[in-house]
Amino acid sequence: MYIAHHQVPAGDTAQPKVWLENVSKQYGSVTALQPSDLKVRSGEFLTILGPSGSGKSTVLNLIAGMTNPTAGRVWIDGRDCTNVPPSKRGLGMVFQNYALMPHMSVFENVAFPLRVRRVTEAEIKRRVGEALELVRLPSVAGRKPAELSGGQQQRISIARCLVYNPAIILMDEPLGALDKKLREEMQLELKRLHVELKVTALYVTHDQEEALTMSDRIVLFNGGRIEQAGTPHELYFRPRTLFSAKFLGDSNVLSGKLQGRAQDGLVETPVGLLRSSNGNEHVGDGASVHLMVRPENVLLLPPDNKHEYANGLEAMVVDTISFGGVIKTFARLSDGSTMTVQELTRARRQAFDRGARVRLAWQAEDMLLLPAA
Amino acid sequence: MYFILPLLIYMAAVFLLPLLFVLFTSVVSETSGQLTLEFFERFFTHGLYLRVLKTTLEISLIGTALTLLIAYPIAYYLAKQTPKRRSYLTLLILLPFYTSILVKAFAFMVVLGYNGVVNDAIRLVLGEDFVLPLLFNRFGVMIGVVHDMVPFMVFPIVINLLAQNSSIHKAAEIMGATRTRIFWSIIFPLSLPAVAAGSLLVIIRLMGQFVTPALLGGRTDIMMSNLISFHIKDALDWNMAAAVSIVLLLLSCLILLALTRVRGAQLFGEQPRHG
Amino acid sequence: MDKERDVEALGGSAPSPLVATAAWLGFVYLLLPSLIIIPMSFGDTREIVFPPATYTLDLYREYFTNPTWTGSTIQSIRIAVIATLAGLALGTSAAYGIVRGSFRGKVLLGALLLSPFFVPAVVKALGFYIYFAALGIQGTTLSVVLGHTLFVTPYVMIVMMAALRNVDAQIEAAGMIMGASRIYVFRKVTLPMLRNALIAAGLFAFLMSFDEMIIAFFLSGFGTATLPVKMYESIVHEVSPVLSAISALLTFLALVICLAVTALSGRSGRQPSH
């Protein structure tokens, strides 16, 4: 998995493009969004990630103006837009089902926002041409959306946003309707446009891989509140909660009790003593904790191997499944629970039969301490 | 929503107000100007009115049953066709649905009269003396009203049958159920909401029938609508016309209330949306 | 996807001969009036029999030359056109408000707006009669137009609500986010997508008003009677053979509108499949 790893543009000092200031949303007695504070920095690619019902669509609707917050304020470009209708917010939006107008040609679709703004005909012609050029579809202007493939339609819908330079482009699961291969292609395309044009983008998805690949920053939502915010790297390698750990990437989770001082990271578990070199400010001395290690950080060794890793456990191979580029081995620990090990598929890889005794080993720095819920 | 406002205002002025005028006329005597329930009293004590009420209910209920009997096989047959054939065959239901009720009544007068097609055929086979009274009686009314109502029953049932999950039928078939059994234990029970919705819709419309009983029925087939018309056009008794109308309206509301209770039924033939 | 589903509906096996027979008997019964009336209309002016003894165009000639019939036909067309336009405006706007709106009591309000559909025609007619008499317009063309507008509006609403539900609300949302006002989006985006449905609803409403007899019977006076009212009176009093020709023409009109509406609703609101 590719994890985006680049510089975060502009710090907190610059004026945010969008600021949800302590907004919350209630539908009757149902809380869709607990009071949350969220800033989208100018020029960044921010992803709102979460399972369905986590509040991510509510965040999008609040920014777009489709719903009004129960409390708090919505700022766009330094302007209080809390009670401004969607048409006056100066936003762009890309929808999952493209939302192209079926009765208009591609040209007219892209020209629509310009016509609303009473741009002159010559200017419209020029800018629509440029926008179609940007999404690499300069030759389809005369066609109807229905004559284009799904991927092409989504490019047109992106061109329709780029053409009028909105303050921020909102994207609501824009690749959800495309098949896997096309989706990966479009991810790179979106990334390229973002880097080239330096537009501010807010991307909503439930697909963690998409989020990790494309974003400058990810805000993970769970149960109507922000679970964790940070760079893809931080969310993947430094999840602060069990939910974050499980939602992004695969994980092996064990439970236990801290021994001695919290910062020593020594945990007594049913399968033995494990060591973590990562502290967690939310965990106190002697607390019950979860331990998490990514499957790709676990090594599969012969049972008698004398390794130098801080953590090592006896296990028995239950099953081995190949996923093309990687191989996953499922091994049973002494307490009956199962751990997953992920290795790259290589010809020289040492194979273990089902039922073979093995030793699982990993570094203390790859073992994360998470507070028990 | 200001999009609804124009119609709301129009309905208040040209629907609710007229109905209030009817209600007013049913309880305030034209001659004395007094508030009175005498017109309703007359309705529920006089033989004529009670007989018309009984006739109305009879024609509505029996008509609905006959409509269902004719409509269900048509709906089932349509649901079994390929989409292309079904759209052609549906035109055979739509044409009579679109045809003026006067045209239909007139045509049935020609078909069912003493010199009509049916009696001509009977005479041809059985001799000059044989004539069946098919017109200006309950039979004539039934032929007319059922004809008028069949499309209203067919559409909701077809939509229901098409929306049924065919995997359930296939599963039953694989488990060894015969077609008859699949129909009676799966398809028919699942179609009952549509049958109920269609039946209630048909009852409401039958209770308000006017043209067919007037043209194809006899003296004893007068329905409440005809009675209202008689009072306003011939007897010039607005009070009784209004009282009969209120009773008819309340009966319709009662059925409508039942209709809103039918769950999972599609009232207006909206196609179920997938995905 | 939908096509595949359809073919497999109810298991896909052919209906049994018993069902097919019952269905076709039903079809014959339903089509009988239309099938009878066409040959009848080519009979002569003396008597109403089926099949006619001689075939002529006399009945059509009689219809097109008799001012009673032509006058009432023109009256019907005038009323139907105005009622249709008014019904389209009121019904489409209300359908948009109901389908796209999000407010409390939406379902109840929608039911209220459709309720004229469920009120027996004679009750509506009586209400108009008493009410318009009080307003002093009873017997005028205006009174029939007002009545018919109320009569056709629920049909327009039903058609337009179904069509609107097929129009993706996100397309409208997209329009608004790009800066267009709700009215601009309704005019430039929603209405063009509803074009076929509008024509279909209009044709249907026209036919409903053109054929409507009960309200017109209660409301129209001697000089303002519509074609169906004249037909009804003719059937009740004299049963003129011309009725066959008129019936055939009305059947033809019904057929044309039926085919047009079917063709239009087959194409309206069709979205590219995802």
Query: What's C157-178 look like in SS3?
Result: HHHHHHHHHHCCHHHHHHHHHC
Cα–Cα distance for residue pair A235/A249, rounded to 1 Å: 10
Q: CB count, 10 Å around CB of A123?
A: 11
In angstroms, what separates the C-alpha of C98 from chain B's closest C-alpha? 7
Q: Distance (Å, rounded) from C-alpha C211 to C-alpha C231?
A: 10
**Amino acid C22: pLDDT:** 96
Of the pLDDT bands very low, low, confident and very high (cuts 50, 70, 90), residue A349 is confident
- A31-49 tens-digit pLDDT: 999 999 999 999 999 999 9
Does residue A34 belong to the interface with chain C, where contact is any CB pair within 8 Å?
no
Residue of A nearest to C181 (CA): A87
Q: Tell me the shortest Cα–Cα distance from C105 to chain B, in angstroms.
A: 12
- Strands of the A252-259 sheet, one edge to the other: A272-275, A266-269, A252-259, A288-293, A368-371
Could you identify the residue written with the tokens 């509140």?
A: A225
pLDDT of B144 strictly over 60:
yes
Cβ contact A157:A98 at 8 Å: yes
Cα pseudo-dihedral A195, A199, A200, A204, rounded to 10: -70
**In terms of DSSP bridges, do strands A71-76 and A18-27 run parallel, antiparallel, or are they unpaired?**
antiparallel
Asked if B107's CB is within 8 angstroms of C34's CB, the reply is yes
Q: Which helix (H) or strand (E) is C240 found in, with range?
A: none
Of C32, C243, C266, the CB nearest to B111: C32
Residue C238 corresponds to which amino acid? E
* Whole-number Å distance between alpha carbons of A146 and C210: 38
**Hey, which residues 231-250 in chain B have their CB within 8 Å of chain C?**
232, 238, 241-242, 245, 248-249
Mean pLDDT, chain A, rounded, equals 90
Which chain C residues are within 8 Å of A116, Cβ to Cβ? 178-180, 184
Q: Name residues whose C-beta falls within 8 Å of residue A19's C-beta, 6 or more positions apart in sequence.
A: A38, A39, A40, A74, A75
CA nearest B134: which of B124, B148, B122? Answer: B122
CA B98/CA B91 separation, integer angstroms:
10
Helix (H) or strand (E) holding C269: none
Whether residue B257 is contained in a domain is answered as no
Return the pLDDT at A8.
Answer: 47
Please list the pLDDT of chain C residue by residue as tens digits (274 residues). Answer: 344 444 445 555 678 899 999 999 999 999 999 999 998 899 887 777 777 888 889 999 999 999 999 999 999 999 999 999 999 999 999 999 999 887 888 888 988 999 999 999 999 999 999 999 999 999 999 999 999 999 999 999 999 999 999 888 889 999 999 999 988 998 899 999 999 999 999 999 999 999 999 999 999 888 899 999 999 999 999 888 899 999 999 999 999 999 999 999 875 443 333 3
Task: Using a threshold of 3 CB pairs under 8 A, tell whether chains C and B touch.
Answer: yes
pLDDT average, residue stretch B124-141: 88
CB contact under 8 A, B92 and C30: yes
Q: Is the pLDDT of residue B9 over 70?
A: yes
H or E segment and range at residue A291: strand A288-293
Take residue C1 and report the two structure tokens written for it: 């996807």
Give the chain C residue whose CA is nearest to the CA of A86.
C177
pLDDT at A291 over 70: yes
Chains in contact with chain C (at least 3 beta-carbon pairs closer than 8 A): A, B
- Kindly state whether C213 is in contact with chain B, defined as any CB-CB distance less than 8 angstroms: yes
Residue A2: what pLDDT?
Answer: 60
Interface touch C173/A97, C-beta < 8 Å: no
Among the partner residues A66, A103, A117, nearest to C179 by beta-carbon distance: A117
| Lowest mean pLDDT segment, chosen from A104-108, A175-179, B159-163, B240-244 | A175-179
C181 contact residues in A (CB cutoff 8 A): 87
Domain with B93 in it: 60-224
Query: Residue A1: pLDDT band by 50, 70, 90 thresholds?
Result: low
Smallest Cβ distance to B7: which of C15, C50, C93?
C93
Classify residue C267 by burial, with Cβ atoms within 10 Å: 0-12, 13-18, 19+: exposed
Å between B188 CA and nearest CA of chain C: 11
| Residue B191 within any structural domain of the chain | yes
- The band of A158, judged by pLDDT with boundaries at 50, 70 and 90, is very high
Fold for C73-270, please state it.
MetI-like fold (1.10.3720)
| C111, containing H or E segment | helix C106-114
Chain A CB contacts of C177 below 8 Å: 64-65, 86-87, 89, 91-93, 170
* pLDDT at residue C274 in the model: 32
First to last CA, chain C: 10
HEC per residue, chain B:
CCCCHHHHHHHHHHHHHHHHHHHHHHHECCCCCCECCHHHHHHHHCHHHHHHHHHHHHHHHHHHHHHHHHHHHHHHHHHCCCHHHHHHHHHHHHHHHHCCHHHHHHHHHHHHCCCCHHHHHHHHHHCCCCCCCCCCCHHHHHHHHHHHHHHHHHHHHHHHHHHCCHHHHHHHHHCCCCHHHHHHHHHHHHHHHHHHHHHHHHHHHHHCCCHHHHHHCCHHHCCHHHHHHHHHHCCCCHHHHHHHHHHHHHHHHHHHHHHHHCCCCCCCCCCCCCC
What three-state secondary structure class fits A167? coil
Q: Which of A91, A93, A102 sits opposite C271 (nearest CB)?
A: A102
**Domain assignment of residue B159, yes or no:** yes
Question: A247 falls in which pLDDT band (50, 70, 90)?
Answer: very high
- Position C13 scores a pLDDT of 67
B132 located within any domain: yes
CB atoms within 10 A of CB B271: 13
**Cα→Cα distances C14→B168, C10, C20, C103, Å:** 18, 10, 9, 47
Closest CA to C60 of C79, C41, C74, C73: C41
DSSP state of A364: G
Residue of C nearest to B100 (CA): C211
Residue C248 has a pLDDT of 96
Write down all domains in chain A, each with its CATH number in brackets: 18-242 (3.40.50.300), 250-371 (2.40.50.100)
- Percent of chain A topping pLDDT 70: 96
Task: List the single residue in C with minimal CA-CA distance to A149.
Answer: C274
- DSSP output for A120-158: -HHHHHHHHHHHHHHTT-TT-TTS-GGGS-HHHHHHHHH
For residue A22, how many other CB atoms are within 10 A of its CB? 13
Q: What is the mean pLDDT of chain B?
A: 90
Residue B259 lies in a domain: no
- The pLDDT, as a whole number, for residue C6 is 45
* pLDDT tens digits, A191-232: 999 998 989 999 999 999 999 999 999 999 999 999 999 999
Q: Decide if B87 and C262 are in contact by the 8 Å CB cutoff.
A: yes
Q: How many CB atoms lie within 10 A of CB C192?
A: 13
B23 touches C at CB < 8 Å: no
How do residues A87-107 score in pLDDT, each as one tens digit? 999 999 999 889 999 999 999
C-alpha of A16 from chain center: 20
Contact criterion met (CB < 8 Å) for C121 and B170:
no
**pLDDT score recorded for residue A12:** 53
Residue pairs between chains A and C whose CB atoms are closer than 8 Å: 70
Q: Do A112 and C178 touch (CB under 8 A)?
A: yes
Contact at CB, A102 and C193, closer than 8 angstroms: yes
Residue A5: band (very low, low, confident or very high) from pLDDT cuts 50, 70, 90: low
**C1 CB contacts (<8 Å, ≥6 apart)?**
B274, C273
Q: What are phi and psi of A73, to 5 degrees?
A: -125, 150
H/E segment holding residue C205: helix C195-211
Chain C contact for A372 (CB, 8 A cutoff): no
> CB-based contact (8 Å) between A183 and chain C?
no
A62/A80 Cα distance (integer angstroms): 13
Q: How far is B47 from chain C (nearest CA, A)?
A: 22
CA distance A21 to C147: 55
Report the chain C residue with the minimal C-alpha distance to residue B82.
C7
Per residue in B214-228, pLDDT tens? 999 999 999 999 999
pLDDT number for residue C85: 98
Instruction: Measure CB to CB from residue C272 to each of A85, A103, A146 and give the nearest one.
Output: A146
Looking up residue B200, the CATH number of its domain turns out to be 1.10.3720.10
What is the reported pLDDT for C268? 44
What is the residue whose two structure tokens read 């002697």? A286
Cβ distance C177 to A86 less than 8 Å, yes or no, reads yes
Q: Hey, where are the domains in chain C?
A: 73-270
Pick among B1, B2, B7, B89 to test the C interface (most C CBs inside 10 A)? B7
Please tell me the predicted confidence (pLDDT) of residue C66: 94
Q: Which two tokens stand for residue C119?
A: 């009120």
**Does residue B235 contact residue B183 with C-beta atoms inside 8 Å?**
no
Let me know if residue B30 belongs to a domain: no
Condensed to tens digits (0 to 9), the pLDDT of residues B229-238 reads 999 999 999 9
Checking if the pLDDT of B115 tops 90, the result is no
Element containing residue A233 per DSSP (H, E): helix A232-237
Is it the case that residue A190 has pLDDT exceeding 80? yes
Residue of A nearest to C178 (CA): A113
Number of domains, chain B: 1
- C2 close to B163: Cβ distance less than 8 angstroms: no
Nearest chain A residue to C171 by CA distance is A99
> Does C17 reach chain B within 8 Å, measured CB to CB?
no
Decide if pLDDT at A115 tops 60.
yes
**Sign of dihedral through CA atoms A112, A113, A116, A122?**
negative
Cα–Cα distances (Å) from C16 to A263, B69, B88, C149, in that order, read: 79, 17, 20, 45
With an 8 Å Cβ cutoff, is C265 touching chain B? no
Across the interface, whether the CB atoms of C174 and A89 are under 8 A apart is answered no
How many angstroms away from the CA of C269 is the closest CA of chain A? 9
Mean pLDDT of A262-275: 87
Within a domain: residue B209? yes
CB contact under 8 A, C174 and A88: no
The band of B275, judged by pLDDT with boundaries at 50, 70 and 90, is very low
A101 interaction partners in chain C (CB closer than 8 Å) = 171, 175, 189, 193
- Mean pLDDT of the B67-94 span: 94
Q: CA B210, CA B229: separation in Å to the nearest integer?
A: 9
**ipTM confidence score:** 0.91
Of the partner residues B22, B108, B249, the one whose CB lies closest to the CB of residue C33: B108
Q: Would you list the DSSP string of C91-109?
A: HHHHHHHHHH---TTHHHH
